[in-house]
Amino acid sequence: MRKLAATKRNDRAVYLFLGVSALALAPVGFVSAQTVVPTNAKPLCAVSPTTFASWFASGKPSLNGAVNPADSIKFPNQNDCNFYNWSAQMFLWLTSPAFGAYGSNGFVFTSPIFYNVSGAKNGKRTYSQNQPDNPLPLLNVRAAQAGEHGLQLVTDKNGQIFEVLPASQAKDGNSLVRNAAGKMIEIHRIEAQPKQKPKFFDAANKEIVRPKAPKLDTTLALRVAPQLAQVTPEETKSFVQAFEANGKVVFVDSNGNTIEPTQGQAGTSGVLLAQDQSLVYYATMVNDVYAYFQTGTQNGTFPAGPSGYSFFPTTAQQLAPVIKYAASKGSNLPDRVALTMELKTSWIDTAGLPALGLNPSDFITVKTTVPVYNRSNPKLWIPTGQTKPVTLAMVGMHVVGSVAGHPEMAWATFEQVSNAPSSAYQYTNVQGGTSSVPQGQAGAWAFASPKATVYNIQKADFKSAPKITAVSGQTISPSDTMLLKAWGTGSDAPNFVLENTEVISSDSSVLTQMPKGDVRANYIMTGATWTVKGQTVQSNNQIGTNLLNNSTMETYDQGINSQSNGSNCFSCHANGSQPAGQPANTAVSHIFTSLVPLYPKS
């Protein structure tokens, strides 16, 4: 069920920074554009040949060869390069053909040591162990990035990120609002200006008089996010409420004023399509160490700390009880040195790739089934209840895992080189000077048309799941996508050139040492982030590439430019109201408390 074909795109030399089109690299018949990694970056984070060879199970690089997991227990934790190179090794391990204890079919990350995590239903998620003959379960289009309380996000023009509380709705989809008398009234028309209180009008076009000090209504949100009951008054400042009437949506903050969202942000579940009309499908997985630790914690085998929270294991001592617990259930945790891992992957149908000038053999692929939609209405796609078998190509992967000294986990992301153009960027070259790379434009990408001029405009959402609906004024269609922070750091950050150089040098050293034809060489790391000394997430303690997004997963959460605004992994995966300076707890993982344990409490 796997395909690890030798790629036709072997030449990894860099042309883009010399001003030569990447189209020159493509074989005849495939004219896709590529993101190419500069090979002349100052080698700040280069992986030595000896170290690189040691990653492989055979002791030397081999074509599509098996790679061992990085030893997260012995993680050096000395500098940024440790994190970037850990991420690179983990990606190569995860996408290795299954070997040894991982079986003989599929990849390591589709082997039975990994568990697929279902979407939330009534606030609960379930595990399903991956099976070698059917590595991925039925996939669905994804909901947009969720915040730390499990709610959707919206970003305002200043780059501030809010979680969106849904408002109660009438049968026709219009929102309900409480009037001064405490009665819920359906909104039929909205007048709103940024930083002013909106005006709501009823069916008779009469303004609905609201209470003098309207509060955010959490009634509906509590049903899907019970943890909101514990939200402090200070935390409510990070929420807005969404009100809709006849297709118009406004977001109202805790002061009752309208915020101005970034263009394309609908505050709902964004749906992304590739240029060939393929929907993007998503899967979330965790490894066996995560699954047994979460199960033992939820069942009370591993008691929580004094604060009521638990902490992902980062040492051999902390891992020992997890190993013992797993053994009692018949598992020896063959990947135990990897510690706890969480993955998110994104996929598109391979059927339309050749029409885009893309070679399916340049992608990691799996076979699975996806839902079939009736697409006759360009503004509303309705599931038929049927599924179809497909071969899917992986276009993105988030690699997340705990390492020594970092219970908040390291958060890294990888993209296929033909996904989308990147913003312009700079880095330090081997001569010590600064090289500049222009914004990527030429050629056909999976998620951007050759003549695109406007990017990252959301066109479809999943707010009426399982139906797909068009955003107001749009049709359900591909949007042109750009990675706005090429290497995960805003271009106005003090050390953005340094961070770019570190990531590029790590990528370049790995890619140039990969055997020619290895399909994994068509994926690049665009950054990784973590916190100072593994502390609870704060706005001022995030290290590495701290404006990190994946063009296929956070497409519409990147902000409006290549500078400072936009989201980051920790914009969503935070620790709530935990005190600063303390170790980060398992709240950084949204799925931790919502997952039904593997085994019932004994």
Residue 346 contacts residue 396 (beta carbons within 8 Å): yes
Q: Is residue 301 part of a domain?
A: yes
Mean pLDDT score, 537-547? 86
Cα–Cα distance, 256 to 251 (Å, whole number): 9
pLDDT at 74 over 70: yes
What mean pLDDT value characterizes the chain? 85
Residue 597 lies in a domain: no
Enter the tokens of residue 22.
């990447």
Residue 136 included in any domain: yes
Give the pLDDT of residue 19. Answer: 29
pLDDT value at 29 more than 50: no
Q: pLDDT band for 308, please (50, 70, 90 cuts).
A: low
Same domain for 323 and 229 = no
Model pTM score: 0.83
Question: Helix crossing, 80-94 with 496-513: angle to 10°?
Answer: 40
60 within some domain: no
Task: Answer whether residue 38 shows pLDDT above 80.
Answer: yes
Considering the domain architecture, whether residues 256 and 301 belong to the same structural domain is answered as: no
Q: Flag whether pLDDT at 464 surpasses 80.
A: no
DSSP string for 284-344: EEEEHHHHHHHHHHHTTSS---TTS------SHHHHHHHHHHHHHTT---TTGGG-SEEEE
316 and 248 together in one domain: no
pLDDT tens digits, 153-163: 677 766 677 77
Which residues have C-beta within 8 Å of that of residue 581, sequence separation ≥ 6? 535, 536
Q: How far is CA 135 from the centre of its chain?
A: 20
Region 419-425: mean pLDDT is 95
pLDDT of res. 28: 34
- Tell me the range of 247-256, 332-341, 535-544, 569-578 where mean pLDDT is highest: 332-341
DSSP string, 3-60: E-PPPS-------GGGT--GGGGSPTT--B------S-B--TTPPPHHHHHHHBTTSS
Domain assignment present for 545? yes
* Residue 577: pLDDT over 70: no
Pairwise pLDDT comparison (145 vs 207), residue with the higher score: 207
Residue 20's pLDDT is what?
Answer: 29
pLDDT confidence tier of residue 267, bands split at 50, 70 and 90: very low
Q: Is cis: bond before 466, omega within 30 of 0?
A: yes
> Are 367 and 105 within 8 A, CB to CB?
no
Any residues with CB less than 8 A from the CB of 256 and at least 6 apart, and which?
Answer: 197, 213, 214
Please check the confidence at residue 22 and state whether its pLDDT lies above 50: no
**Closest to 23 measured CA to CA, from 444, 586, 304:** 444
The boundaries of the domain holding residue 195 are 160-261
The answer, yes or no, to whether residue 170 has pLDDT greater than 60, is yes
Q: Is 330 exposed, middle or buried (0-12, 13-18, 19+ CB in 10 A)?
A: exposed
User: How many CA atoms within 13 Å lie on the side-chain side of 333?
Assistant: 25
Does residue 427 share a domain with residue 460?
yes
Q: Is the per-residue pLDDT at 6 higher than 60?
A: no
Residue 55 has pLDDT above 50, yes or no: yes
Task: Evaluate whether residue 476 is within a structural domain.
Answer: yes
Same domain, 224 and 298: no
Are residues 438 and 328 both part of a single domain? yes
Is 153 a member of any domain? Answer: no
27: confidence class by pLDDT, cuts 50, 70, 90: very low
Going by C-alpha positions, the residue among 410, 387, 391, 390 that lies closest to residue 400 is: 410
Mean pLDDT score, 232-256:
80
My answer on whether 111 and 141 are in the same domain is yes
If asked whether residues 537 and 403 sit together in one domain, one would say: yes
Q: Are 42 and 501 in contact (CB under 8 A)?
A: yes
Counting the structural domains of the chain, the total is 2
Residue 69: inside a domain, yes or no?
Answer: no
pLDDT at 214: 65
DSSP string, 457-523: ---EE-TTTTSEEEPTT--S------BSSTTSS-TTSTTHHHHHHHHHHHHHHHHHHSPTT-GGGGE
More confident residue, 529 or 122: 529
Q: Which of 233, 261, 289 is the last residue of a domain?
A: 261
- In a shared domain, residues 517 and 466: yes
The CA distance from 558 to 484, in Å, is 7
Residues 116 and 33 in one domain: yes
- Return the pLDDT at 13: 31
pLDDT over threshold 60, residue 224: no
| 116 and 165 assigned to the same domain | no
Please check whether residues 292 and 200 belong to one and the same domain: no
Lowest average pLDDT, out of 43-57, 166-180, 380-394, goes to 166-180
Task: Please say which residue of 209, 229, 261 terminates a domain.
Answer: 261
365-377/2-3 β-pairing: antiparallel
Mean pLDDT value of segment 478-487: 94
pLDDT of 134 > 70? The answer is: no
Instruction: Determine the residue type at 209.
Output: V
Domain boundary among 211, 227, 261: 261
Q: Mean pLDDT across the stretch 306-328?
A: 89
Q: What percent of the chain has pLDDT over 90?
A: 52
Query: What is the full DSSP assignment across 105-152?
Result: SSBGGGSTTEEEEPPPBTTBB-EEE-BTTB-S---EEPPPPB-TTS-B
